[in-house]
Amino acid sequence: METFPEELVSALKEVVDNSSWQCVGDKERFKSPCTKLYSEDGEHLVLIHTDGKFYAMDSACPHEGGPLEQGDIEELCNGRLALTCPWHYFEFCLDDGSSSSGLQNQVYDVKVCEGKVYIKTPNALSFAPWKNSKFERSGNTESEESAKGVEDESSLTYWACRILCTADPEEKAKLTQQAQVLWNAGKIVEIGQTQPPTQPKRKENLTIVQPGRIKRGKGGTLSSRIALLHSLANIEQWAIDLSWDIIARFALFQLQCGEKLPREFFTDFVKVAGDEAKHYCLLQKRLTDLGSTFGDLPVHNGLWQSASDTAHDLLGRLAIVHMVHEARGLDVHPQTLQRFSAQGDEASARVLEVIYTDEITHVAAGLKWFTYICAKEQQDCLSTFHKLVPLYFKGYLKPPFNTEGRKSAGMSEEWYLPLVKPS
C-alpha cells in the first residue's frame, strides 16, 4: 500500500482538528472572569478569563448541576487555579477539570489567534440559549438557519434576560450597572428579541413566605429598622427585575399604527433599572452596617404578581407597576423617613432620601410612556387609566397620598382620586 509523506499527514490532521474549533469572538469582549456559552447540544460551557489566559469547561457542576459561571476563581494551595461551584463549593482545576472531591469536569482547549478566542468543540456556541436545538429543528438544518435570532452582548434583551436569570441580588445589581454603562456608551447596539423567563431566579437560601406574614417593623427599635430596610431591599430586588422584564417582554411591541417603541423608551427603563440596582446596594450596605445582610429575614414574591397579570398588556404594566405601586412608594416616604429620623438613624434616612428622589422619576417615566402610547392610539389617558387599574389592581387606592411627590412626577389628583373608595 502506498504511504503518504509525513508532512502531508500532519497537515491533514491539523485540518481535521481545526474543523472543531469554534470562534466565540474578540478577546476584548470577555472582560468578566466567567462567561456562559450555550452549546447547541445542550452541554453548555463556561469560558474563564484570568491573568491574561483563557480556559473552558462544562458550565454545569458534575455534582448537582450548579452554575459554574457564577462561581469564583481561586488559587489552590498547590498554586493551581480552580473554579468553585457556588452551590456546594466543589472546586475544579482550570487546566484539567480535576477536583479534590474526586469529581471530574470536562475541559476544552482554548486558543487565541489574531485577537480572537477559539474553543475546540464540535458543537456550535452562542451567547444566548438556542431557540431550536439540532434535535428539535425541522426544515433547513444549515448552521446559518440555526443561528437566526441568536443574540450576544450587543443586544439589550440579552442583558435583560441574563439579569432576570441571575439569582444573586448583588450580582444582579452589578450586571445591571454594567449593562447601563454599555447601553449609554452605545456599545449595546440592538434592542433584540430574547424571550424573558416567566419569573426571575432567586437564591435558594431565601425564606419565602406569604406577603401578609412579613413583619416590616415601624423603625422604633434596631431590629425593626433592620426589618424595614430588609423589606425595602427585597422591593428593590424585584424592582430591578420589573425594569428588565418590561424591556425584554415588550421589545417587539407595536403601536396600532405599526410603529415600534422609540429607543428613548428603552433608555428610560435602563435608567430605572440602574437606579433600582443602586438602591439595592445602598440598602444592603446599610444592613451590613447594622450587623445584618439581605436574606437574614423572610421575604415575599408578591410584587411579581403585577408583572404576571400584565405580561400581555404594556399599558397595564405601566399603570400598575409605575403609576400605582411606585406612586404608593412616594406616599409612604414621609412617615418612613420620620421613623428613622426619630431614632437618630440619619444614615438610613439619607438612603431613603436618595431612593425617594429617584422614585419620583420612575413614576414620571411610567406616566410619560403611558400618555405617549395613549396619544399615539388616540385613547383618552385618564379614562384608560381608570379602566385598567381596577382590572389589574385589587381594591381601591387608599390615602394618605403624597400630593407634592406625585405632583413632582406629573401625576395630578385627577389621575388617582377617582380610584379612591367613595365616602
Taking Cα atoms as reference points, which of 194, 283, 195 lies closest to residue 238?
283
Grid cell for residue 86: 457556588
Beta bridge partners of 72: 84
Grid cell for residue 347: 444614615
Domains recognised in the chain with CATH numbers: 19-130 (2.102.10.10), 156-419 (no CATH)
User: Alpha-carbon torsion 239, 240, 245, 250, what sign?
Assistant: positive
Give the residue carrying C-alpha cell 408583572.
Answer: 307
Taking Cα atoms as reference points, which of 349, 340, 355, 335 lies closest to residue 224?
340
Q: What is the mean pLDDT of residues 50-76?
A: 86
User: Alpha-carbon torsion 336, 338, 170, 246, what sign?
Assistant: positive
Tabulate helix, strand, coil % of the chain (nearest 5). Answer: 45, 15, 40
User: In whole angstroms, what separates CA 90 from the centre of its chain?
Assistant: 26
User: Alpha-carbon torsion 381, 382, 384, 388, what sign?
Assistant: positive
Tell me: the pLDDT tens digits for 316-353?
Answer: 999 999 999 999 999 999 989 999 999 999 999 999 99
Do residues 45 and 118 lie in contact, with contact meaning Cβ atoms separated by under 8 Å? no
Query: Which one has a higher pLDDT value, 404 or 133?
Result: 404
Ramachandran bin of 28, using left for φ above 0, alpha for ψ from -120 to 50, beta for the remaining angles: alpha
Taking Cα atoms as reference points, which of 181, 349, 167, 187 lies closest to residue 240?
167
Separation between Cα atoms, residue 403 and residue 409, nearest integer Å: 10
Grid cell for residue 121: 468543540
Taking Cα atoms as reference points, which of 274, 262, 234, 265 lies closest to residue 247?
265
Taking Cα atoms as reference points, which of 33, 100, 90 lies closest to residue 64?
90
User: In whole angstroms, what separates CA 314 from the centre of its chain?
Assistant: 19
Secondary structure (3-state) at 126:
strand
Tell me: the pLDDT tens digits for 118-158?
Answer: 999 988 888 887 654 332 322 233 322 222 334 567 899 99
Do residues 397 and 323 lie in contact, with contact meaning Cβ atoms separated by under 8 Å? no
Separation between Cα atoms, residue 399 and residue 333, nearest integer Å: 13
Q: What is the pLDDT of residue 229?
A: 95
Do residues 60 and 68 lie in contact, with contact meaning Cβ atoms separated by under 8 Å? yes
Separation between Cα atoms, residue 390 and residue 384, nearest integer Å: 11
pTM for this predicted structure: 0.65
Tell me: the pLDDT tens digits for 164-223?
Answer: 999 999 999 999 999 999 999 999 989 998 889 999 999 888 887 765 454 445 456 899
User: Alpha-carbon torsion 356, 315, 150, 94, what sign?
Assistant: positive
Do residues 281 and 343 lie in contact, with contact meaning Cβ atoms separated by under 8 Å? no
Q: What is the pLDDT of residue 9?
A: 52
Q: Is the pLDDT of residue 311 over 60?
A: yes
